[in-house]
Amino acid sequence: MLLAAVFYGGWRGVSVLVERERSGSRKLLRYIWPTVMVAWCWLMLWATSFPSESHWMGRSLDFLLIVFFAVNFPGAVLGNGLLSVMIDWPAPLKSVVASVAVWLLWYGIIRAWERWKARNLSPDVKFELR
């Protein structure tokens, strides 16, 4: 139940950020959110790859992993899928391709959400029940 609440809260937060950004004149969300998600991916990869270096996280690492996968589920699935396909590629190339793919995925999600919200909030759209 906690996982469902975290998942809902994360996506609801993105919805609120998209709505705020849509009402403003600037569109920073579509660049900041994907960048933050990629940075969070790298932090979690570092924390799980070198547990002795990330001992300051302590018991919160498990909770952070659950929150990470709940909020960043599309990026985690895409990134892990790409990494499994590119298993024999050099590590720097794998990391660049996966990071770019996750960034583009989040950018696309936010753009699709903005367009969906704009289309559904448009006064020209009329719903008819048949």
Q: What is the pLDDT of residue 121?
A: 64
Q: What is the pLDDT of residue 9?
A: 78
Does residue 97 form part of some domain?
A: yes
- The four Cα atoms 109, 112, 117, 120 give a dihedral, to 10 degrees, of -140
pLDDT in tens, 10-25: 777 777 776 766 665 5
Does residue 127 form part of some domain?
A: no
pLDDT in tens, 91-116: 888 888 888 988 998 898 888 887 88
Does residue 41 form part of some domain?
A: yes
Task: With cut-offs at 50, 70 and 90, classify the pLDDT of residue 63.
Answer: confident
- What is the tally of structural domains in the chain? 1
Does residue 1 form part of some domain?
A: no
Task: With cut-offs at 50, 70 and 90, classify the pLDDT of residue 129.
Answer: very low
pLDDT in tens, 67-82: 888 888 887 787 778 8
DSSP 58-111: TTHHHHHHHHHHHHTHHHHHHHHHHHHHTTTS-HHHHHHHHHHHHHHHHHHHHH
Give residue 65's domain range.
27-115
Does residue 88 form part of some domain?
A: yes
73 half-sphere exposure, CB direction, 13 A CA radius: 11
Greatest alpha-carbon span in the chain: 62
